[in-house]
Structure 1
Amino acid sequence: MSGNYINLTRYKRWETSEVEIGDLTIGGKAPIRIQSMTNTDTNDTETSVAQAIRIIEAGGELVRLTAQGTREAENLGTIKSALIARGYKTPVVADIHFNPRAALVAAEKVDKVRINPGNFVDPAKQFKSIDYTEQEYTEELANIRYKFLPFLALCQKNGTAIRIGVNHGSLSDRIMSRYGDTPEGMVESCMEYLRIANEVGFNNIVLSIKASNTRIMVHTVRLLVKTMEQEGMNYPLHLGVTEAGDAEDGRIKSAVGIGALLVDGIGDTIRVSLSEDPELEIPVAKTLVDYVTERAGHTTVEEFITSLYHPFIYSKIISDPVKQVGGENVPVVVGSVEQKGDFRPDLIFKESRLYSDNEEISFVELKDDFDKSDLVSLNEKTVLVLSTGNKNIHAALRSLRFRLLENGIKNPVVFKLSYAERDKETFMLKAATDAGILFLDGLGDGLWLEDENQSPETLVQTAFSILQASRDRMTKPDYISCPGCGRTLFDLQKTIARIKARTSHLKGLKIGIMGCIVNGPGEMADADYGYVGAGRGRISLYKGKTCIEKNIPEDDAVEKLISLIKENGDWVEELN
């Protein structure tokens, strides 16, 4: 693959331009910055300040707050002043959707303003296909320029930075009509605004492209970086998986998506979006950043050039199957103990042998320093187990995988990753970071995790969760739940717990639980069912991207969601 923004065998950050946000530098040679966002009412100064302080004291280097109107944008100045008065100079960021007037107010109050190209000028998403002529489309772009330039001028005057933040769930109908729901459309949504800013010499810009689907997120961010490089730009990148969820699944999904980009040197600041108290996001983000940056100076990985690597689309390498391993089969999970239920390992390793349903499977373990002579007598009915001692784990295994393919070896491949972590969360985050990128790029037929400090059940369940987060194998429901913000008018955490308690047995069903309409309806297009905040104590329910019922009292909404799932034939009774 051409370009300097990614090196397949060496850890090196893609060097971006520097952006000043208050006293903080993002990009260039600055460390990868960690941030979070409050979920308080921005008009509630004391509560917002208190939560911002908790984020800062946990290690957050930027704090973002929503500003859905000019009143909230005005109060951001009060919040910032209160933080400074208490000795906190951490940059304050405004989050703007649908309201350019609020962005203009915020530009004079805070250090950075995040705008969403999907709704800054374009009207609210209606899921309508519009057939534009070239002249009409050009006029739409001129309208964006007309409304965006005054905002840029104000930010320039006040030294305010901007984040152009695209979300998969909030692409405008205009972009969708021309590009469809594609990485190309997401990138163009960002580039339209970036080109305008670049033309007038405004460079204090950070970019982000986020999605709840990690595969879409990773491939699209790579495409954005390539597009910038082709146009002579290198703006800093903010990374995050939107609506990642909560608990272990939320952490693993975030590590898969964010980690896949960080390990290839992409990313200057990150936010782990969990449906929990925002200060709990910070330790997760710190673990990811520390783990990835540790691989600087790793043992050299043999370089390779291959046409088989597809960084912008998912392309599964199809191996020759051995029993249920490889070919068109879903990736398998290897464990060391027989278990029952949905998380039963597909293959069991015991007494130095590998078994499938008590039938032995031939396997050979290859490390990245293997000799080609090891391949001479390789039987086509042998599973290859690939492992490495290199701390740049994914690069070493990726190189090994492609070297085998270049030698005509099409045996199925199981990646074996070994750790020694006493802390369960740290183990999960590291395993997801290393394994996620391998499966997002379609390189593996199976996953085998080892850590003598973790239970066999934890190892197997983590492997299944990584495969699900990588969109390779669904073994439980996929909850697309946002972290909440000042727009959320119901108790998000309690609602998620209630919905999970009723639906955790619905294997493979995608359920969106969204605080408001900003990303809700858009993300519902990727979910089977959606539970979206419509107002204080009011919920709207979706089937796909279609709103089925609006403004349901919150007390009735979960039961109505269950009824909707049943009415559409997607409900199964839970087995005892």
Structure 2
Amino acid sequence: MDYFNYSRRKSSVVNIGGTPLGGDNPIRVQSMTNTSTQDTEACVAQIKRIVAAGGEYVRLTTQGVKEAENLMNINIALRETGCMVPLVADVHFNPKVADVAAHYAEKVRINPGNYVDSARTFKQLEYTDEEYAHELQKIRERFVPFLNICKENYTAIRIGVNHGSLSDRIMSRYGDTPEGIVESCMEFLRICVEENFNAVVISIKASNTVVMVRTVRLLVATMEKEGMEFPLHLGVTEAGDAEDGRIKSALGIGALLSDGLGDTIRVSLSEEPEFEIPVARKLVDYVGSRADHLYIPGVAADEFDYLSPSRRKTFAVRNIGGDNLPVVIADRMDGNQEYNPQFTPDYIYAARELPQTCLKGVGYILDGDVWSGEENTYPAFNFNSIDGLKASKAELNFLFLPYMALTDQLALELKAIKNVVIISQSNHQNRLGEHRALVHQLISAGCEHPVVFFQQYMENEAENLQVKSAADMGALVFDGFCDGIFLFNQGSLSHAVIDATAFGILQAGRIRTSKTEYISCPGCGRTLFDLQSTIARVKAATSHLTGLKIGIMGCIVNGPGEMADADYGYVGAGRGKISLYKKKECIEKNIPEEQAVEKLIELIKANGDYIEKA
């Protein structure tokens, strides 16, 4: 694989209605309705809004046979208005529903974790090899008839594995690991290959971006070994809403798109589904703009493990690198000292002159030629100022360094200087490729200096900055290269927005926590309460609890599984009823919705994790 030069992975073509996927086709964007699939009128109206926003496929939940049968009415009603968007049925727990849906939808999504295997109990079960093989045979006996129905009706399928719904059988053999997630998918893919059924799309999703990226990378490598080229559907499930949902999605999906992986994406936001489409389109277009860029002559370091990366070994310079959390550097060259106390940068680049009032606890960076040893300040040098860098007596120095400036001679000189943090900068069309190439060259040269990534933009809309900067940082974070981030925006956005975006990227990548994390689903026809108003109430009561992870799930499909990584969970149990979880354990069932947020706070307090608002 070429880590430095962008090109799309070769995948097979799957015809989904009149909108083919994979191969040389554009990367498609899609969403999912949150209306009842038995309400034809509401579904048709929402689907048309999604299509008007640019959606190319629309998925609907089909929790029962009645919903699957009503796809026929929805399909007819749409076609009568001239709307030809392919419909995708989303099936969990009941393979009979998939059989019915295959007659009326252009694609059917099944979840290997609950297609034949029983619903997950989170109990440790033991299977002998014979018992395990018997369970696989049961899957085959049920799955092959479904494939035959799909062949007869020219229906494509999506094998959609969710980290949160792995079966107890898979968990018993592989545990809650990327290897287990991949095997859950491969069991079904191998049957498809044996049955010569090629109209298959694959997705592997998780709310944990690290798990999602590592697992998709491993899946692609596993498919390549077995000669498979099925197209990929990418998404970060339960990403949340607002800036968190956008950053988390762009970080995870963007990391994979940047490596040429992915043929269709869904940005899952806890908002109206049509709002997902513009975000997805921005992400696809931004990464796609790297196509046909000037070649980057990067050379991969021998010790780098793409499929199972760990944090790059660096020495610590003050509080940067080593075992320290990644830092945030920000600029205040305009003299504006606006900041949000929750997202205060660790360092501020002031360039030529310190502000009249400096922020407490923040280090200031001055250009090396004007730095004269002021208290709590540190010099920065350009790559052609190596003599000034070598002469500096500061405990911490910064070196702005483009990849093409890192010569063998400079690397040799750097190895002798231990009080330097490198700020990687790039103006390349594929800046990610150059950032990666620089770090790989440092590794190969034996330079263990920390690296902060300087990312420059000119954005006037917060969403644009969130999507682009997260997409640029994703692979760098997941490769284990990030000792810090420096976002520099020349547009009209406030410093507070830029700082929050930087901290949001680090949190979405699970490498530094600065606020409460919400694992919230986007909602669908299964959702058992008003998701958006509930999220607002839960956030209002808990957003000051820095470091906690709280899951807010509309139903039980992925609830306890996706929330296994969360500290507390709020899950729809029935109409107007909520169940509360501590980790995977259900603590209280069927609480009236109007009491549930208060009960959640009581649960958090009972476990000693609640602090009163300041």
Tell me the TM-score range normalised by the shorter chain: over 0.9
Matches within 5 A, 1:557-568: 557-568=596-607
Q: For 1:88 and 1:445, how far apart are their aligned partners in 2?
A: 49
Please tell me whether the aligned partners of residues 240 and 271 of structure 1 are also in contact (alpha carbons under 8 angstroms). Answer: yes
SS of the aligned residue for 2:237 comes to: coil
Q: For 1:312 and 1:542, how far apart are their aligned partners in 2?
A: 33
Q: CA deviation at 1:314?
A: 4.1
Q: Which amino acid aligns with 1:362?
A: N
Please tell me whether the aligned partners of residues 98 and 124 of structure 1 are also in contact (alpha carbons under 8 angstroms). Answer: yes
Query: Structure 1 residues 169-178 or 435-444, which shifts more?
Result: 435-444
Please tell me whether the aligned partners of residues 419 and 450 of structure 1 are also in contact (alpha carbons under 8 angstroms). Answer: yes
Please tell me whether the aligned partners of residues 510 and 529 of structure 1 are also in contact (alpha carbons under 8 angstroms). Answer: yes
1:350 corresponding residue in structure 2: 350
1:556 corresponding residue in structure 2: 595
1:3 corresponding residue in structure 2: none
Please tell me whether the aligned partners of residues 528 and 543 of structure 1 are also in contact (alpha carbons under 8 angstroms). Answer: yes
2:478 corresponding residue in structure 1: 440
Query: Structure 1 residues 79-88 or 403-412, which shifts more?
Result: 403-412
1:516 corresponding residue in structure 2: 555
Q: Which amino acid aligns with 1:509?
A: L
SS of the aligned residue for 1:296 comes to: coil
Change (3 A) 1:278 1:9: same
Q: CA deviation at 1:92?
A: 0.6
Selected match of 2:226 from 188, 212, 231: 231
Please tell me whether the aligned partners of residues 411 and 445 of structure 2 are also in contact (alpha carbons under 8 angstroms). Answer: no
Selected match of 1:369 from 390, 404, 407: 404
Change (3 A) 1:327 1:119: same
Q: CA deviation at 1:302?
A: 1.2
SS of the aligned residue for 1:369 comes to: helix
Q: For 1:276 and 1:14, how far apart are their aligned partners in 2?
A: 31
SS of the aligned residue for 2:88 comes to: strand
Q: For 2:349 and 2:7, how far apart are their aligned partners in 1?
A: 36
Selected match of 1:388 from 420, 423, 426: 426
Q: CA deviation at 1:313?
A: 2.5
1:430 corresponding residue in structure 2: 468
Please tell me whether the aligned partners of residues 34 and 282 of structure 1 are also in contact (alpha carbons under 8 angstroms). Answer: yes
Residue-by-residue CA offset, 1:17-52 (whole Å, 9 max, x unaligned): 000001111001100001000000000110010000
Q: For 1:225 and 1:375, how far apart are their aligned partners in 2?
A: 34
Q: For 1:172 and 1:282, how far apart are their aligned partners in 2?
A: 31
Q: For 2:273 and 2:309, how far apart are their aligned partners in 1?
A: 32
Q: For 2:2 and 2:41, how far apart are their aligned partners in 1?
A: 47
Selected match of 1:158 from 153, 156, 165: 153
**TM-score in terms of structure 1 length:** 0.97
Q: CA deviation at 1:377?
A: 4.0
Q: CA deviation at 1:352?
A: 4.5
Count of residues paired in the alignment = 570
2:565 corresponding residue in structure 1: 526
What is the CA RMSD across the aligned residues, in angstroms? Answer: 1.2
Q: For 2:131 and 2:352, how far apart are their aligned partners in 1?
A: 67
Q: CA deviation at 1:436?
A: 1.9
Q: For 2:189 and 2:325, how far apart are their aligned partners in 1?
A: 40
Q: For 1:212 and 1:531, how far apart are their aligned partners in 2?
A: 15
Q: CA deviation at 1:132?
A: 0.6
**TM-score in terms of structure 2 length:** 0.91
1:341 corresponding residue in structure 2: 341
Selected match of 2:299 from 304, 315, 321: 304
Q: CA deviation at 1:197?
A: 1.0
Selected match of 1:128 from 123, 131, 140: 123
Q: Which amino acid aligns with 1:383?
A: V
Q: Which amino acid aligns with 2:322?
A: G
Q: For 1:302 and 1:448, how far apart are their aligned partners in 2?
A: 25
Q: CA deviation at 1:427?
A: 1.4
Q: For 2:236 and 2:160, how far apart are their aligned partners in 1?
A: 12
Q: Which runs of 5+ in 2 are unaligned?
A: 354-362, 366-374, 379-395
Q: Which runs of 5+ in 1 are unaligned?
A: 1-5
SS of the aligned residue for 1:480 comes to: strand
Name which one, 1 or 2, has greater alpha-carbon Rg. Answer: 2
Residue-by-residue CA offset, 1:40-65 (whole Å, 9 max, x unaligned): 00001100100000000100000100
Matches within 5 A, 1:444-459: 444-453=482-491, 454-459=493-498
SS of the aligned residue for 2:140 comes to: helix
1:27 corresponding residue in structure 2: 22
2:254 corresponding residue in structure 1: 259
Residue-by-residue CA offset, 1:77-125 (whole Å, 9 max, x unaligned): 1001100001101101100000111111100011000000000000111
Selected match of 1:421 from 455, 459, 464: 459
Selected match of 2:109 from 85, 94, 114: 114
Query: Structure 1 residues 304-313 or 360-369, which shifts more?
Result: 304-313
Residue-by-residue CA offset, 1:206-229 (whole Å, 9 max, x unaligned): 000000000100000010000000
